[in-house]
């Protein structure tokens, strides 16, 4: 296989940058190089057929459905199979494979679309009285298993879709606070805020389809969190529906009212009630906003620069750096060019880099954003430029940053394309102190490779540092490989190896995707057994009957917690087990859900709308008003 260093080098111009191989567009050869998948000869999956899905029969009685209809109107409650399938899972690779493999064990029995907080309260009260299960549903973009009903659940399961609660209710201009209904999706709420001169400044990868309530429920983080903060920093007030009562947290700047109930709701994934409204900190739309690109000779020097920036007086909105592999991917998926930009890309920039003694296989691409008043933005850039130079980096202008802004919400959808072609593509993210960033990065890459080797398949892993803090940073890993005979079993092997490498190297199990079912096996290793005990006690006390999204975050322990070594001869678990032992099988019971198929795309598939974004599917289940 042709290596990256033998590929034709294309540098940055105003139109982007890319690797090209044999003068063909870069993405196809890159995929073949990375995961051994020849897109030219691979058979793409045909159009999915909803009729081939075996959808579990709804257990919601006509009487109970009628009771819900009396609250929201007959047009806003449904037991329709299509609507139930759409609300069964989120959008993780595991979710999509199970849909395509016709492996739906438990769907919601009824989907309800309330119009306001009063209707949410009435639905919650009716559900608790009937001992039903309530799973709040926002944009449906969750990838941590936070939306699915437990397979053994015998009670009626309600998917409570908050898509009709999508307004910016009010803005307190003096305080810079905005009251927003929980079902407002990113583009809708930003459009409403922009119309009044404000921005929330929160832009996660899922921005176009996720909701403010979902952001709070999973402790989301956005691309510009270096300036605006994570959703935990942005959220000031909350309204949460609970049985026969409202939990109301006023939007105070700070308080010493005991343990923070606000923090309890943040990341609770629907287990403490239904979030109906969020008061967030908003900011005036900045007069100047620029994203600049920089190159560093290698990952270590780039990370050192990012740490120095976090400790400096600079306050950039974005500090992001890709490792060498992700830099190669970015180069492979860029636009072609001609004229002066082609000369700059093909000749000038590579020549400058090699003259500096850089190895072009190790270079790392960074994006740094500056926002605010014109003078402020210029001052921030000046500070950053000095730090970049000190750490051996070089700036290449705004052209790549413009391209980054255009593509920033597109990359996640490559996963669906790869799945069509019989390959897996997914992500895992963590946060760790600066002292462990380089170590954890290396360990995760080695763990993934060991997992690929154990499966006998070709795989790829790349990563970037996406968020900076004074004490550390978030590392975001993307991995891909070609399926063999057991799609979910193979996925579990790789995912488990990466996740274990996080906790083994001073990282958390998730920085911003939440826990759900996907990451809960590592929770005790993350927050200690006693921490899990306290969390479980909170959920049990607040929801003794288990009506609110049961089983998420703190299910029954399924991964043995590795105790601290008592003697020098004590051994520990490897980070990437080559064999599927009985203990490993227990860590991911969902792996049994998918039948063993040699080609995922050829398995029975769900309709295109089943994995489409909820905004379009919601219109199908909700009447036009």
- What is the tens place of the pLDDT at every residue in 158-192? 999 999 999 999 999 999 999 999 999 999 999 99
Q: What is the pLDDT of residue 433?
A: 98
pLDDT bucket at 551, cuts 50 / 70 / 90 = very high
Q: What is the pLDDT of residues 388-408, one digit of tens each?
A: 999 999 999 887 777 776 666
Strand partners, 474: 431, 467
| Cα–Cα dist 598/383, whole Å | 54
Ramachandran region, residue 281 (left: φ > 0; alpha: ψ -120 to 50; beta: rest)? beta
Mean pLDDT over residues 289-305, rounded?
96
CATH architecture of structural domain 288-504: 3-Layer(aba) Sandwich (3.40)
Q: Residue 6, SS3?
A: helix
What pLDDT score was predicted for residue 568?
Answer: 39
The pLDDT value recorded for residue 76 is 98
Instruction: Name the nearest CA neighbour of 131 among 547, 551, 541, 550.
Output: 547
Mean of the pLDDT values across residues 195-213?
94
Query: Of 89, 294, 476, 491, which is the active-site residue?
Result: 476
Q: Are 27 and 411 in contact (CB under 8 A)?
A: no
Q: Which residues pair with residue 365 across a beta bridge?
A: 295
Question: What value, to the nearest 5°, has the Cα angle with vertex 133 and ends 132 and 135?
Answer: 145
Tens of pLDDT, residue by residue over 314-372, are 999 999 999 999 998 887 766 555 455 554 655 678 789 989 999 988 999 999 999 99
Q: Are 220 and 511 in contact (CB under 8 A)?
A: no
137: its two tokens? 């549903």
Burial class (CB in 10 A: 0-12, 13-18, 19+), 46: exposed
For the chain, the structural domain boundaries read: 168-286, 288-504
Residue 625 has pLDDT above 80, yes or no: no
User: Regarding predicted confidence, which is higher, 47 or 212?
Assistant: 212
What is the percentage of the chain residues whose pLDDT exceeds 90?
A: 67
**Two structure tokens written together for 609:** 């709308």
* 3-state SS class at 449: helix
Q: CA torsion sign, 256 to 262 to 264 to 267?
A: negative
209 and 615 Cβ atoms separated by less than 8 Å: yes
Q: Please tell me the predicted confidence (pLDDT) of residue 330.
A: 81
Average pLDDT, integer, range 412-429: 84
Asked if residue 300 has pLDDT above 60, the reply is yes
CA-wise closest residue to 14 among 282, 501, 584, 399: 399
User: Same CATH topology for 168-286 and 288-504?
Assistant: no
pLDDT band at residue 17 under the 50/70/90 scheme: very low
Active site residue 294: no
**In the chain, what is the straight-line distance between the N-terminal and C-terminal CA atoms, in Å?**
57
CB 478 within 8 A of CB 186: no
Report which of residues 4 and 112 the model is more confident about.
112
- pLDDT value, residue 595: 34
Has residue 623 got a pLDDT over 70?
A: no
Count Cβ neighbours within 10 Å for each residue of 533-545 and write b for 16 or more, e otherwise.
eebbebbeebbee
What confidence score (pLDDT) does residue 348 get? Answer: 78
What is the pTM assigned to this prediction?
0.83
Domain 168-286, CATH: 3.30.465.10
- CB distance 258 to 249 below 8 Å: no
Nearest to 362 by CA among 407, 336, 392: 392
pLDDT for the residue 285: 96
Residue 364 sits at the vertex; the CA angle it makes with 386 and 23, to the nearest 5 degrees, is 130
pLDDT above 80 (res 307)? yes
* pLDDT of 5 higher than 80: no
- For residues 497 and 446, what is the distance between their CA atoms, to the nearest angstrom? 9
Q: Residues 219-254: pLDDT tens digits?
A: 999 989 999 999 999 999 999 999 999 999 999 999
């Amino acid at each position: 296989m042709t290596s990256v260093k033998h590929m034709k080098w294309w540098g940055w111009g105003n139109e982007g940058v890319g690797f090209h191989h044999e003068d063909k567009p870069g993405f196809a050869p890159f995929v073949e190089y990375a995961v051994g998948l020849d897109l030219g000869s691979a058979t793409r999956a045909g159009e999915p057929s909803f009729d081939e899905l075996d959808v579990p029969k709804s257990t919601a009685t006509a009487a109970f459905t009628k009771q819900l209809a009396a609250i929201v109107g007959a047009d806003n409650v449904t037991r329709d199979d299509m609507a139930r399938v759409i609300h069964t899972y989120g959008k993780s690779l595991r979710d999509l494979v199970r849909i395509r493999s016709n492996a739906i064990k438990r769907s919601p029995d009824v989907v309800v679309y309330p119009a306001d907080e009063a209707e949410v309260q009435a639905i919650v009260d009716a559900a608790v009285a009937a001992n039903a299960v309530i799973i709040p549903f926002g944009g449906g973009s969750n990838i941590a298993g936070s939306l699915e009903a437990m397979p053994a659940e015998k009670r009626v399961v309600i998917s409570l879709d908050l898509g009709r609660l999508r307004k910016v209710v009010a803005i307190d201009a003096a305080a810079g606070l905005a009251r927003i209904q929980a079902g407002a999706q990113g583009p809708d709420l930003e459009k409403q805020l922009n119309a009044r001169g404000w921005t929330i400044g929160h832009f996660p990868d899922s921005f176009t389809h996720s909701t403010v309530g979902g952001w709070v429920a999973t402790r989301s983080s956005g691309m510009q969190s270096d300036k605006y903060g994570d959703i935990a920093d942005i959220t000031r007030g909350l309204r949460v529906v609970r049985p026969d009562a409202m939990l109301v947290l006023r939007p105070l700047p700070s308080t010493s009212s005991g343990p923070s109930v606000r923090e309890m709701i943040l990341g609770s994934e629907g287990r403490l009630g239904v979030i109906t409204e969020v008061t967030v900190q908003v900011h005036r739309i900045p007069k100047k906003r620029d994203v600049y690109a920089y190159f560093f000779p290698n990952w270590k020097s780039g990370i050192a620069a990012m740490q120095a920036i976090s400790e400096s007086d600079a306050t950039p909105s974005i500090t992001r750096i890709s490792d060498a592999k992700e830099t190669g991917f970015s180069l492979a998926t860029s636009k072609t060019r001609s004229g002066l930009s082609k000369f700059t890309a093909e000749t000038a920039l590579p020549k400058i880099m090699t003259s500096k003694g850089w190895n072009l296989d190790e270079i790392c691409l960074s994006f740094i954003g500056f926002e605010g008043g014109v003078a402020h933005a210029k001052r921030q850039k000046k500070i950053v430029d000095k730090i970049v130079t000190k750490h051996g980096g070089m700036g290449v202008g705004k052209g790549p940053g413009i391209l980054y802004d255009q593509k920033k919400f597109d990359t996640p959808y490559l996963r669906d394309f790869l799945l069509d072609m019989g390959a897996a593509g997914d992500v895992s993210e963590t946060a760790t102190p600066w002292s462990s960033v380089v170590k954890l990065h290396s360990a995760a890459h080695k763990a993934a490779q060991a997992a690929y080797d154990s499966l006998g398949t070709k795989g790829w892993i790349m990563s970037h540092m996406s968020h900076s803090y004074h004490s550390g940073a978030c590392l975001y890993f993307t991995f891909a490989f070609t399926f063999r005979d057991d799609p979910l079993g193979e996925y579990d092997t790789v995912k488990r190896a990466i996740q274990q490498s996080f906790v083994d190297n001073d990282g958390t199990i998730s920085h911003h995707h939440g826990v759900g079912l996907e990451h809960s096996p590592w929770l005790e290793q993350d927050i200690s057994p006693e921490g899990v005990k306290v969390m479980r006690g909170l959920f049990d006390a607040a929801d003794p009957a288990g009506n609110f999204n049961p089983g998420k975050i703190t299910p029954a322990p399924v991964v043995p917690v590795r105790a601290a070594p008592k003697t020098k001869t004590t051994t520990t678990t490897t980070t990437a087990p080559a064999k599927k032992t009985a203990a490993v099988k227990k860590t991911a019971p969902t792996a049994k859900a998918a039948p063993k198929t040699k080609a995922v795309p050829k398995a029975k598939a769900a309709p295109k709308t089943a994995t489409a974004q909820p905004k379009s599917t919601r219109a199908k289940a909700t009447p036009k008003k």
